[in-house]
Amino acid sequence: MTIDLVLRGIFSTFFLASVLRICTPIIFPSMGGLVAAAAGVSNMALEGIMLWGAFTGVFVSANTGNVWLAVLAGCLAGILVAMLLAVAHLRFGSDRFLAGLAVNLFSSGGTVFLMFSLIGEKGNTSTLASLSVPNVVIPFIHDIPILGQILSGHPVFTYIAFFSVWVIYILMYRTRLGVHMRAVGENPAAATTLGINVHRVQYIALAISGLFAAMGGMSLSMAYLQMFQREMAAGRGWIGIAAVNLGALRPIPTLIAAMIFGFADALANQLGSLKIPTQLVQSIPFLTTVIGMAVYSIQQRRVAIERRKKYASEHYDEMPEEATQL
Amino acid sequence: MKKFFDSNNVRSALRIILALTIGLTFGFIITLLVSDDPIKAYTAFLTGPLSQLNRIGDWLEESLTLIFLGLAVTIVFNAKQFYIGLEGQMILSALASGTVALYLPVDPIIRVPAAFLAGMTVSVLWAVVPAVLKAYLGASELVTSLMFNSIALRLFEYILRTYLQLPHVNGIMSERVPEDARLTTFIPNLPFLQETREAWTKATSVSWMVYVALGAVLLAYLLLYKTKFGYEIRAVGANAKFAKYGGINVNRTIVSSILVSGIFAALAGTHLVLAITQRVVQGMAFGFGFEGINIAILTGNNPLGVPIASLFYGYLRAGSDVMERVSDVSRELVFVVQAAVLLLLTAERLLPVVQQVVTTDEEEAAHLKKGSVK
C-alpha cells in the first residue's frame, strides 16, 4: 500500500519535475568542481563558496529590490572567495585541501557572523524580504501534456544549470582556454614548456568554478527557498566534488553522477511523506554518494589491473621482474 | 643569539605568533566595522574568560574537548590522511556514552568505564568504512568522511528523538545523567583543598578528564614517536611509496591510523556528555567540526603542542561566548579569526619576513642583498 504510494509518486510528473529542481544546486557545484579539477586545482571550497553566493544574493536582493543585480553580486562574491583560495594555493603555496577547509570555515562562520550583524538573526533570513528568480515557462513545450509539466515552469537557475553543462563542454573541448586547462591539468610541466602560463590558466579555472558554485548557492536561496539559512549548502558542494570524481573529469558523466545524487535527494523528499523517520531518509543522498564513490573506485581498480595485465602480457620480456608479478 | 633565531623551532614559533596576531587584528578590524561599541566587545572577547570562576571553567572545559580532537587529527595528519570525520564520531560516541551512563543497570564503578568503552567502540566502528574505502579502494577519505558526518548527525538526532527524548520539555534532549555517573572534579579530595574544591564544583564542570587529557597527549606522543606503529604512520605520511618499498603495509597503516584516532575523538564525545552537558542533547557538538584541524595545523601535527594550542583556542571560544553575551558581536567571529590563522599558517610562502629576518646570518644576508633567494 505505502510502497504503492511511493512508486506512484516516483513516476508522477510532479516527482520528475522535482528531480530537475533538486538537481540544480548539485549540478552547479559539480560543473564548477569539474573546471577546477580539469585544470589540476581541485576546488575544495565549493561548499563555502555556495554559502557566500546564497548569502550575497539574498541580502543584495532584499536591499536593492533588483533580482538580477543580486544574482550578479552573488556571482562576484563567489568569484572573489574563489580568488582568495586561488591566491592562497597558487601564490602562497597553501595545501589545496587545507586552504579549501580554511575557506569553508571562513564561509560557514563568516556568513552567520554577518547575518547576525546585519539582521540580528543566526538561523535564517526569513524576516528579510528577499526575492527569488522568476520561473520560466517555455512557450511551446509548456502546452505538451506530460512533458510540459516536467520540463517547463522551473526557476531560471534550473535551465542555466543544464545549459552550463553544454557551456562547460564547449569550453573544455572547443576553446583554446579549455585545451590549455586540460593540458595544465594533465601535465603542468609539459604545459609550461609549450608556453602556457600555468598559474594564469588555474586562476581562471578557479574563478569559473567560484562563479558556478555561487550560482549553486543562489539556486538554493533564491529559487529552492526564498531565504538564506545557516549551512544551507548542506554538503552539496562536497557531493559535487564526489560527482566530479565519478565523472572522471568529463562533463556528461559528471552531469549524470550529479543527477543520480539529485535523484537520491528527491527520493528522500518523496519518502518523507511516509512514516519512515525523516532523519534516516535525509541520510539517503549522503549514503548514495558514499556508495557511488565505492563502486566507482572498485571499477577503477579493476580497469587499472586489466591494463597492467595487458601491458605485462605484451611486454613481458622487457619488464623488470617485480612488475610482472601482479 | 644568532643560533637561537636560527633554530627551526623558534622560527616556526615566531611564524605561529605572527599568524595569530594577524588573525586577531583581522578580527578586531571586523569588530570595528560591525559593532557599536567595538572596544567593549573585543575586550570581552580577549579578557572575558578570566573575569569569573565559571568562565575560567568554561575555558578549561572547551580546551579539554579540543585537546582530544586535536590529538585525533594529529594522528591522521601524520599519516597524511585528510580524514575529517571526527564530528560524527564525537557525537555518536557522546550518544553511546550517554546512553550507557543513563540506562546500564550496574554499579557506577563499572558504568562509567563502560560508558567510555561504548563511546570508543562506536567511534572506531564508525570510521571503518571511510578508512577501508580509502586504503583499499582509494576513495577520497575527505569526501566520504564528510558524508559520514552528515549521516552521523541525522542518526544521532533520530536515536535521540525516538528513544531518549525527555517528554514534556522544550528542546530535544535526554534525561540528565545520574549524579554518580557524572565525571567529578579534578581537584583531589584533600583537607586543605576543601574550599577550592567546593567552589570549583559549584561553578564549573572541569573534571578529572584533565588528567586523562594529559595522559592522552603523552600517549599520542609515545605512539607516534616511540613505537613501530607510529614510525609506520609517519613513514606513510612522508612518502607512501617509499614506505611500501621499506616493507610497511601501507593500507593497513592507513586504516589503523584512522581507527586509532577514533579513540581520541571518542574521549572528546564522552567528556562532552558526562562532564559538560551531562545529558544527550541536540546540537551538543555544534561548532567543533573544524577545531581538530585548527589545532593540528597550529601545532604542526606535534602532539606535545596540542595542549598549548587547545588552551589558546579554548580561550578564544570561551571569550567569544562572553563577547556574544555582553555585546552586539556574534561568537562566530572566532571561526573567522581561526580561518584567517589557518590560511596564514598553511601558506608556505607567506610570512616570509619572519623567516628572512631570523635566518640572516652573514652568508644569507649577502644572498639577500644580491636579491637571490636561498
Distance CA B166, CA B172 (A): 8
Q: Is residue B253 domain-shared with residue B181, that is, in the same domain?
A: yes
Q: Which amino acid is at A262?
A: G
Would you give the DSSP letter of residue A124?
B
Closest chain A residue to B351, measured at CA:
A92
Check residue B4 and give its pLDDT: 54
Among chain A residues, the shortest Cα distance to B348 is held by A93
pLDDT at A9: 66
Decide if B343 and A117 are in contact by the 8 Å CB cutoff.
no
| CATH at A103 | 1.10.3470
| Cβ within 8 Å, pair A279-B84 | no
Residue B225 lies in a domain: yes
- Counting the structural domains of chain B, the total is 2
Closest CA of chain A from B148, distance in Å: 7
Regarding whether B182 and B110 lie in a shared domain, the answer is yes
Question: A115: nearest CA in chain B?
Answer: B330
Helix ranges (H only) for chain A are: 2-10, 13-38, 46-64, 67-86, 96-119, 145-151, 156-174, 176-186, 188-193, 198-219, 236-246, 251-271, 278-282, 284-314, 321-324
Helices (H), chain B: 2-6, 8-34, 38-47, 53-78, 86-103, 108-132, 141-159, 194-203, 209-226, 228-238, 240-245, 250-271, 291-298, 306-326, 333-346, 352-359, 362-370
Q: Which residue among A112, A277, A290 sits closest to B332, beta carbon to beta carbon?
A: A112
- Do B318 and B352 belong to one domain? no
Q: Is B52 on the interface with A (CB under 8 A)?
A: no
In this prediction, residue A324 carries a pLDDT of 47
Nearest CA in chain A to B77: A98
Residues spanned by the domain of B360:
1-35+330-374
Cβ of B137 within 8 Å of Cβ of A234? The answer is no
**Chain B residues with CB-CB distance to A108 below 8 A:** 335
Residue B373 sits in the same domain as residue B250: no
Mean pLDDT to the nearest integer, A231-247? 89
Domain that holds residue A301: 2-324
Residues 6+ apart with CB under 8 A from A26: A216, A236, A239, A240, A243, A258, A259, A261, A262, A265
Chain B residues whose CB is inside 8 A of the A84 CB are 343
Contact at CB, A105 and B297, closer than 8 angstroms: no
For residues B155 and B137, state if they share a domain: yes
pLDDT tens-digit readout, A104-135? 999 999 999 999 988 888 888 888 888 888 88
Least CB-CB distance to B151: which of A101, A108, A283?
A: A283
Cα-Cα-Cα-Cα dihedral sign, residues A188, A192, A195, A200: positive
pTM (two decimals): 0.87
What percentage of chain A reaches a pLDDT higher than 70? 93
- Are B189 and B337 part of one and the same domain? no
Closest in A245, A279, A293 to B158, CB measured: A279
From the list A102, A277, A287, the residue facing B151 with the nearest CB is A287
Do residues B147 and B175 share a domain?
A: yes
Contact B137 A298 (CB under 8 A): yes
Question: Are B251 and B364 part of one and the same domain?
Answer: no
Residues in A touching B333 (Cβ below 8 Å): 109, 113
In a domain, B240, yes or no: yes
Q: Using CB atoms and an 8 Å cut-off, which of residues 85-114 of chain B contact chain A?
A: none
Together in a domain, B371 and B229: no
Instruction: Report yes or no on B50 lying in a domain.
Output: no
* Within a domain: B280: yes
* The pLDDT of residue B50: 86
- Segment 112-131 of chain B within 8 Å of chain A by CB: 129-130
Q: Which residue of B has its CA nearest to A237?
A: B143
Domain match, B362 and B229 both: no
Q: Is B207 helix (H, G, I), strand (E, B) or coil?
A: strand
DSSP A225-268: SSS-BTTTTTTHHHHHHHHHHHTTT-HHHHHHHHHHHHHHHHHH
A297·B335 Cβ contact <8 A: no
Q: Please name the member of A94, A279, A301 whose beta carbon is closest to the beta carbon of B154.
A: A279
Residues B136 and B251: beta-carbon distance below 8 Å: yes
How far is Cα of residue A280 from the mean position of the Cα atoms in its chain? 23
Per-residue pLDDT of chain B (374 residues; tens, 9 = 90+): 455 555 667 777 888 888 899 999 998 999 888 888 888 888 888 888 888 888 888 899 999 999 999 999 999 999 999 998 899 999 999 999 999 988 888 888 888 899 999 999 999 999 999 999 998 888 888 889 988 998 999 999 999 988 888 888 888 888 888 888 787 777 777 778 787 778 777 778 888 889 999 999 999 999 999 999 899 999 888 888 888 888 888 899 999 999 999 999 999 999 999 988 888 888 888 778 788 898 998 888 889 999 999 999 999 999 998 888 888 888 899 999 999 998 988 887 766 544 444 444 444 445 544 544 43
Interface test with B, best of A261, A282, A290 (most B CBs within 10 A): A290
Cβ–Cβ below 8 Å for B343 and A94? yes
Is B147 found in the same domain as B242? yes
Whether B258 is covered by a domain: the verdict is yes
Q: How many domains does chain A have?
A: 1
Q: Would you call B13 an interface residue with chain A, using a CB distance cutoff of 8 Å?
A: no
pLDDT tens figures, A137-189 = 888 777 777 777 778 778 899 999 999 999 999 999 999 999 999 989 888 88
Co-location of B193 and B324 in the same domain: yes
Per-residue pLDDT at A104: 93
Is B348 an 8 Å CB contact of chain A?
yes
Residue-level pLDDT at B284: 86
Of the partner residues B30, B150, B161, the one whose CB lies closest to the CB of residue A286 = B150
Which of residues 223 through 282 in chain B touch A, CB cutoff 8 A?
none
* In a domain? residue B40: no
